[in-house]
Structure 1
Amino acid sequence: MPRDSRRTRIAQAVLAASVLLLSACGAPGPGGGDDSAEGAVKGQVTFQTWNLKARFQKYFDGVIKDFEKKYPGTEVKWIDQPAEGYPQKLSADAAAGTLPDVVNVSPDLAYPLAKAGLALDIGKAAGKYRTEYLDGAWQSQEMPGLPGVYAFPWYLNTGPMFYNKALFRRAGLDPAKPPTTYDGLFADALTMARNSDRKIAMLAGTPSIEDFGRYGVRLMDARGTAFTFNEPKGVELLTRYKELYAAGALDSQALTSVAESAGRKFAQQSVAMNPGSALDLENFKRDAPGLYENVGITDAVNNTGKANMYVQGLMVNAQSKVKPAAVALAHFVTDRQNQMAFARQVTVFPSTKGALDDPYFTKEDGTDATRVRVAAAKSLKTAVNYTPVVLSDQMKTVLRNAVARALQGRQSPQAALDSAAAQCDRLLKTG
């Protein structure tokens, strides 16, 4: 489902309900199924993607034809589901025992299926392919509390940061040296607010779970059973954001900001930094030429040396009747050659090692698309998925509200994060 890297992640609640139903029906728990994928690669494989057929039918028809040629005796039945209602469709298929053999999932959608024993442990069944993929991409398919890897990594994305060089110069900041760490960001943000008499904010939004991760906060315990973003480092981050808010270094509407409104603030040149994409650059060129000529591109700030990664994967149904063929297809679709071909058709990035060194991802040609593509590809080589796969949309709202209370001074940062962690833990336990 290649869309903007900041696309809305779908809640897990409907899938969690299917886990309960499957458990009641006696479905195998994690590790309880047969992880063997040995045997002849033959038979009909059902392959389900997520909102891809309308734009990429020719590409997938070619991949399927090549797979069937490589493995005589196989036949691929391709199913493409619309974006709307996709988790509900997975839930219904899981409950009915009709999940396709190979399923396009994001990690948050794979997690409850893995808990129910419906996702094949790729680490066991196909560990020989481990070295073909970027470390961060492979690790993104690990599930908290479960000893395995539950999908082949597929396409990736990340969000570089745009910054306004003219606003940096006006505030006395060096436009050739945008901040790369949170210390640098906080210092520059305070300078920006002070030297603009609070007219220009550095940022338009409050910290999300990804910011906590990039700051170096431990987000969950090792077993994935409790949230830990309320530890001292998390409190430190929120305290510093509170200082920014008080100083006018965050936009006045930051507490209610969404990605679209933050983008408008940046386009209007009232905010100095904001995440972006190649499409945003094209819009700036058309609608805001004064901004466009001053846009700089840099990595999102972090204290870890690793950017945030958004990832899609291909899960193999642990109950598939054609498991060897299903594993072979999932690997074939996600191998370097096919991922490179897909990345040339849409703004996504391969998860295979070495692919990001291709000139397509390293050489600029003066166009907006390559400016963003090269910047994003460079950061993806070591990127990680900071957002815990168990973090539902409801939990994100809990954290966002806690952050707002702390910034407004209605609760201390410690009390706000303690409350949010406790609420998220309760939600985690109730599914």
Structure 2
Amino acid sequence: MRISRRAATATAIAITSALVMTACGGSGGSSGSNSDASGKVEGTVKFQTWNLKTNFKDYFEGVIGDFEKKYPDVKIVWIDQPAEGYADKLSADAAANTLPDVVNVSPDLATPLAKAGLALNLDQAAAKYKDEYLDGAWKSHEMPGKEGTYAFPWYLNTGPMFYNKKLFKDAGLDPEKPPTSYDQLFKDALTMADKSKGKTAMLANAPAVEDFGRYGVKLMNDDMSKFTFNEPKGVELVEKYKELYDAKALDSGALTSVAESAGRKFQQQSIAMNPGGAGDLKKYKTEAPSLYKNIGITPAVNNTGKDNMYVQGLMVNSQSKVKPAAVEFAHWVTDAKNQMAFAHKVAIFPSTKGSLDDPYFSQDGGTDEGRVRVAAAKALKTAVNYTPAVFSEQMKTALKNEVAKAMQGKKSAKEALDDAAAECDKLLQQAG
């Protein structure tokens, strides 16, 4: 189970203009503008999740059973789809008007469904529940060009940074004061590269879209119809990273690096900072004890005071014939009690207000899992989802490729970002 759902399938969906016409004009369904979810809570609700049954069957059957006891006139039919091809399955169901009543989505998956009129506007249909959720989580399923929120926020995650205290100390840096701003990160990285004569890099990855957000770059215009990450601050970020790359303060493989290779380099102690989780700590304890004893945990660097949030949601099908029951069930699954129970079974975090103040998220208990959990929970209280909901996998690739050209000196940072923005604008227009 990929809790952050950052795999390519998480952003592969592309509902075209033809599908928008089908969804809005298909027979047997109500208009996407129908946000009335009042009425008796009754009927059969089809509930679809994404690769959860294998590991969490008992948990979900308990949640469903309790709901059916409270609402005896409701029957929940749970459908769990495999991760492989999940986006394509959503697209096919949307085109055929067979989308389930309650659907597990991430913001990028919800966006084309909302555009097609298939996602219920919860600011209208479930406004009474809005204040139960963290502001950043509720806003994460807002859609460009549309008012409202189109999925209940469900579980959250974020990526605290691990850093190697010994490498910091060897470079003459304070191992108890890792960088918290980008200016300090760039300064420390250059110092480390200089002291190690280019043998130790601070980071293993070139900047991705969430890094632009954390740096304070405005990623899109106000109506989210055009990308703006090529603004001067975005250009400045790429120029700073090129400076690191040229000084060997950024790993030589950064332009093609993936999470797994970056993790290996951190384990080999050739880079000093890298995102990580509790599972990584366990691995380092066994496989790299000299690294493990020197690991520090710190929030990801940012200039905004807010970390990056990865979020999952539950969307209610606007064409559902059992909307009152579907809304109540989606809220039930995502309420504080059930999210807290889920968080005790897997390393995720509730999106409900107050939940992150629970001792489970504020006291580490002296364990590795606890150390990571407390650091992440603290960051999530004010975190936001920097990745625009419309930013597809193709757009990520376009940005990555152009940033690489800037790093290699094939283009200026301005030219590379202008080209990346133009390509992303083109892809946005094609998506309708």
Sort the TM-score into its range (normalised by shorter chain).
Answer: over 0.9
Q: Secondary structure at the match of 1:256?
A: coil
**What is the distance in 2 between the residues matched to 1:4 and 1:290?**
29
**What is the distance in 1 between the residues matched to 2:5 and 2:41?**
38
Quote the offset at 1:45 in angstroms.
Answer: 0.6
**What is the distance in 2 between the residues matched to 1:47 and 1:6?**
19
Report the counterpart of residue 228 of structure 1 in structure 2: 228
Contact 2:281 2:292 in 1 (8 A): yes
Contact 1:30 1:146 in 2 (8 A): no
For structure 2, the 5+ residue unaligned runs are none
AA aligned opposite 2:4:
S
Report the counterpart of residue 7 of structure 1 in structure 2: 6
**What is the distance in 2 between the residues matched to 1:137 and 1:11?**
18
Quote the offset at 1:14 in angstroms.
Answer: 3.9
Aligned counterparts, 1:177-196, within 5 A? 177-196=177-196
Structure 1 outlier segments of 4+, above 2 Å: 2-7, 9-15, 19-22, 24-33
**What is the distance in 2 between the residues matched to 1:209 and 1:137?**
19
Quote the offset at 1:246 in angstroms.
Answer: 1.0
AA aligned opposite 1:338:
N
Contact 1:15 1:113 in 2 (8 A): no
AA aligned opposite 2:15:
A
Aligned counterparts, 1:245-394, within 5 A? 245-394=245-394
1:214-264 C-alpha deviation (Å, 9 max, x unpaired):
000000111111100000110011111111111110011111111111100
Contact 2:205 2:251 in 1 (8 A): yes
Report the counterpart of residue 55 of structure 2 in structure 1: 55
**What is the distance in 2 between the residues matched to 1:335 and 1:25?**
30
Contact 1:6 1:159 in 2 (8 A): no
Report the counterpart of residue 20 of structure 1 in structure 2: 18
Contact 2:31 2:319 in 1 (8 A): no
**What is the distance in 1 between the residues matched to 2:392 and 2:410?**
25
1:377-416 C-alpha deviation (Å, 9 max, x unpaired):
0000000000111111111111011111111111110010
For structure 1, the 5+ residue unaligned runs are none
Quote the offset at 1:3 in angstroms.
Answer: 2.2
Report the counterpart of residue 156 of structure 2 in structure 1: 156
Quote the offset at 1:6 in angstroms.
Answer: 7.1
Q: Secondary structure at the match of 2:204?
A: coil
Residues 180 and 186 (structure 1), Cα distance of their counterparts in 2 relative to 1, 3 Å cut: same
Query: Percent identity of the aligned residues?
Result: 68
Quote the offset at 1:10 in angstroms.
Answer: 2.8
Contact 2:202 2:271 in 1 (8 A): yes
TM-score of the superposed pair, with normalisation by structure 2: 0.97
Residues 386 and 235 (structure 1), Cα distance of their counterparts in 2 relative to 1, 3 Å cut: same
Residues 56 and 4 (structure 1), Cα distance of their counterparts in 2 relative to 1, 3 Å cut: closer
**What is the distance in 2 between the residues matched to 1:241 and 1:293?**
29
Contact 2:23 2:94 in 1 (8 A): no
Contact 2:3 2:348 in 1 (8 A): no
Contact 1:200 1:270 in 2 (8 A): yes
Q: Secondary structure at the match of 2:255?
A: helix
Report the counterpart of residue 420 of structure 2 in structure 1: 420
1:275-312 C-alpha deviation (Å, 9 max, x unpaired):
00100000000000000000000000000000100000
Q: Does 1:210 align with 2:206?
A: no
**What is the distance in 1 between the residues matched to 2:20 and 2:168?**
56
Q: Does 1:174 align with 2:168?
A: no
Report the counterpart of residue 103 of structure 2 in structure 1: 103
AA aligned opposite 1:366:
G
Quote the offset at 1:70 in angstroms.
Answer: 1.1
Q: Secondary structure at the match of 1:255?
A: coil
**What is the distance in 2 between the residues matched to 1:52 and 1:272?**
34
Quote the offset at 1:12 in angstroms.
Answer: 4.6
1:181-238 C-alpha deviation (Å, 9 max, x unpaired):
1011001001100111111000011000010000000001111111000001100111
Contact 1:50 1:104 in 2 (8 A): yes
Quote the offset at 1:30 in angstroms.
Answer: 12
Quote the offset at 1:15 in angstroms.
Answer: 3.6
Quote the offset at 1:365 in angstroms.
Answer: 1.3
**What is the distance in 2 between the residues matched to 1:102 and 1:77?**
10
AA aligned opposite 2:9:
I
Q: Secondary structure at the match of 2:224?
A: coil
Q: Secondary structure at the match of 2:44?
A: strand
AA aligned opposite 2:25:
A
Report the counterpart of residue 68 of structure 1 in structure 2: 68
1:120-150 C-alpha deviation (Å, 9 max, x unpaired):
0011000111100000000001011111100
Quote the offset at 1:20 in angstroms.
Answer: 2.2
**What is the distance in 1 between the residues matched to 2:319 and 2:121?**
12
The count of corresponding residues between Structure 1 and Structure 2 is 429
Residues 302 and 106 (structure 1), Cα distance of their counterparts in 2 relative to 1, 3 Å cut: same
Quote the offset at 1:11 in angstroms.
Answer: 5.7
TM-score of the superposed pair, with normalisation by structure 1: 0.97
Q: Does 1:85 align with 2:85?
A: yes
Contact 2:120 2:317 in 1 (8 A): yes
Contact 1:156 1:350 in 2 (8 A): yes
AA aligned opposite 2:19:
L
**What is the distance in 2 between the residues matched to 1:99 and 1:339?**
24
**What is the distance in 1 between the residues matched to 2:174 and 2:30?**
53
Q: Does 1:115 align with 2:92?
A: no
Residues 109 and 6 (structure 1), Cα distance of their counterparts in 2 relative to 1, 3 Å cut: closer
Residues 52 and 4 (structure 1), Cα distance of their counterparts in 2 relative to 1, 3 Å cut: closer
**What is the distance in 2 between the residues matched to 1:262 and 1:210?**
17
